[in-house]
Chains A and B, each alone.
Chain A
Amino acid sequence: MIKTRLHDEYGICVVNPAVERLTAANATAFKEEVLALIDQKQDKLVIDLSDVSFLDSSGIGAMVGLLKRLGNRGEIVVCSLSSGVQQMFKITRMDRVFSSYSDANAAIAAIKERV
């Protein structure tokens, strides 16, 4: 289900879950697909949530699962959070765990700066 865009020169991969709701119904599939990317040595990930209007606790679980797999070998950030998703990130303190950017370009620029 995910759509990916690769920015070759810096090895940054923008991942779009391409669903409106990231919930118990599809969070595991989403996680598995992104884990496969990580296993293919993609270690700079931008999760673009622009299509996602709602994310539940399973969605949060999936995001943290990715973070755990990546460990300190790489970086995972989020961008384009809707107000509902932002609220969910705030109430679960995920806003302190994931750096968040207004859009994919801002996220890419920020990662480039750190490379």
Chain B
Amino acid sequence: MYEYPAESRPEFDSAPLKVVVADDDAVQRAYISAILRKLGHEPHEALDGCQALELLRRISAKILVCDLDMPGLNGYELARQIREEPGDGYVHILMVTGQNQRLQRERALEAGVDDFMGKPVDTASLTARIRSADRLLRHEQLLLQRSAVLARAKERIEDDLRAAADAQRRLLPPAHKDVAGCKFHSAFKPSNILSGDMFGYYRICEGFTAFYAIDVAGHGVHASLMSVALGHLLTSELFRAHSFDGAGHPDPAALVSVLSDRFYREDGTEYFTMFCGMIEHGADRLHYCQAGYPSPYMLTRGGSVRQVGTGGFPVALLAGVPFETSVTSFAADEFLVLCSDGAMEAENRFGEPFDEMRVKAALAEAAAAPETIPDGVVSALERWRGGRTLDDDLTVLVCERTPKQ
């Protein structure tokens, strides 16, 4: 889908290379320049190290042929300076030294010189070395082009992900909404661009309001595709069809069983945790099925907190496991808070998790104003993380009862 530029073959592609020739000896300079010209390259002469450096910068030449002994900056110092400069691209340095100067050459290598030629310089060895430098430069060029292609591809992929994230967000209800005797407040924070979380709520029939929160195992594209599929599937019609037992009693576990059967694969690894609740307004009761989702908190405006549920099998993880419907009281002045496990697990710089205690404390503190809880939990976690993004997706859903007076 994304094409790389092909490797170019040097013998068919010999654009002249700019080569800086630095030598205080005019004869030597002219001699080397003449050879370079004959090879089809473009020599630029410098009388000393400082000039060479200035010239390299100005014409952005990528090859330097230099003498070791020069006034101003000598060969070592020049090489060192070039290596210290951040510059765009690598400068290939060829140094001309006396024959068999082992110590000089070792020092020069350390200073950043790439290759050597003994004096007197002959055409064959200069040609071979320029060709070798040329190959490396072309290779570098190719890598640059490739990384540009990758950067563009990455940008396109991220654009696609952002478009998918928008689509995911549009599936979610607004941050605050009144639904049949309840007010819902929510916050939704993907750990990356996309999230594996999903939630929703609706009036299902006279006297009943239903809601759910889902956390697909893992995160990223894989998890988000499943969460979006679930978001589309879970409608008030589906609740009406599957969340009452034969006698007409609310039974959210029956709905969860349907989902588990539908998504379970013998050879699969995808599954999700879910909390599925049905509020029976007339009886001040919450019927719920907890399927591996963290236990939610039931609060009063006074700030007392109790946890709801002790656990349950996740959905589509194992075949044939039972799901249970439980009941708890849900008084008109109470409200329920669901937090995905992204909240408890968020670690600060010292690897310490935010944990249940801090979640509870944050909730109790904001109990007088339930509508502030979702954003409050998000900012408490942001402070805890010290600005680092969350490792896991986060959902906070608050369900407040607002009975008619």
Mark A residues whose CB is within 8 Å of B. Answer: 23-24, 54, 56-58, 60-62, 64-65, 68, 84, 90-93, 97
Contact = CB atoms under 8 A, between A and B. Distances in A.
A54 B342 CA distance: 13
A30 to B, nearest CB: 12
Contacts of B218: 24, 57-58, 61
A91 B313 contact: no
A64 B313 CA distance: 12
Interface of B: 215, 217-219, 266, 269, 271, 273, 292-295, 310-314, 317-318, 321, 341, 345, 353, 391-392
Contacts of B314: 57, 60, 92-93
B147 to A, nearest CB: 26
A65 B267 CA distance: 8
Given A91-B292, A91-B294, A93-B312, A60 B345 contact: no
B192 to A, nearest CB: 11
Nearest to A63: B317
A31 to B, nearest CB: 8
Contacts, number: 57
A67 to B, nearest CB: 8
Contacts of A93: 292, 311-314, 321
Given A61-B269, A68-B266, A91 B317 contact: no
Q: What DSSP secondary structure best describes chain A's contact surface? A: helix
Contacts of B391: 23
B311 A57 contact: no
A61 B217 contact: yes
Contacts of B217: 24, 56-58, 60-61
Nearest to A89: B311
Contacts of B341: 56-57
Contact of A54 (B219, B273, B321, B345): B345
Contacts of A60: 217, 314, 317
A91 B309 CA distance: 9
Nearest to B191: A24
A24 B218 CA distance: 5
A24 B292 CA distance: 17
Nearest to B347: A54
Q: Give the most central of A58, A60, A65, A93: most B CB within 10 Å.
A: A93
B266 A57 contact: no
A61 B217 CA distance: 8
B292 A65 contact: no
Nearest to A27: B218
Contact of A57 (B273, B310, B313, B353): B273
B292 A97 contact: no
